[in-house]
Amino acid sequence: MSIAHFYHWAHDTDLGHFMRAVSWAFSVCETLHFIGLCMLLGALLVIDLRILGFYRQISINAAMKLIPLAIAGFAINLVTGICFFASDSFNYGQNPMFIFKMGLVVLAGINAIYHEVACKAGLCGLPKGVEPDRTAKFVAASSLVLWILVITAGRLLPQFGIEG
């Protein structure tokens, strides 16, 4: 299947037709996307800033309990993002900022998986007062930078041809 066939397929799905036919669908998805973003970034700010050494009065274990909130926010953004793409797959698929944004999301996902596999167990087992190692801090800083870039790329989509 070529990329053009994929764009046609996405455009012609029931979801694509729904997103174009129902006047309020895009606005509802934008609102939900923003809520998901707040959940994702809000949770990651607490987690990553704590790993970086801020807010030491919060235990790392307590901060890590926000991971399900971040995952829920990401899930909301994934579903609403699919809705946006189906609404105008040709425009999104050929937009360089959208492609850049999706690349950043993939990098942020790889970073999150690395955090889960390589860092989380060591972080949750840290005694009170002991700081995380440099690797965990690098992963936390990378997370914040990547997600802020994802948000920035999303806000720049209209400058590259996608209007909400």
How do residues 107-135 score in pLDDT, each as one tens digit?
A: 999 999 999 888 777 787 777 778 898 99
How do residues 137-159 score in pLDDT, each as one tens digit?
A: 999 999 999 999 999 999 999 89
> In the chain, what are the domain boundaries?
3-160
Predicted confidence at residue 164, as pLDDT, reads: 53
Query: Burial letters for 99-132: b for 16+ Cβ neighbours within 10 Å, e otherwise?
Result: ebbbebbeebeebbebbeeebbeebeebeeeeeb
How do residues 48-73 score in pLDDT, each as one tens digit?
A: 999 999 988 888 989 999 999 999 99
pTM: predicted TM-score of the whole model, two decimal places: 0.91
Q: Which of 18, 33, 134 is nearest to 75 (CA)?
A: 33
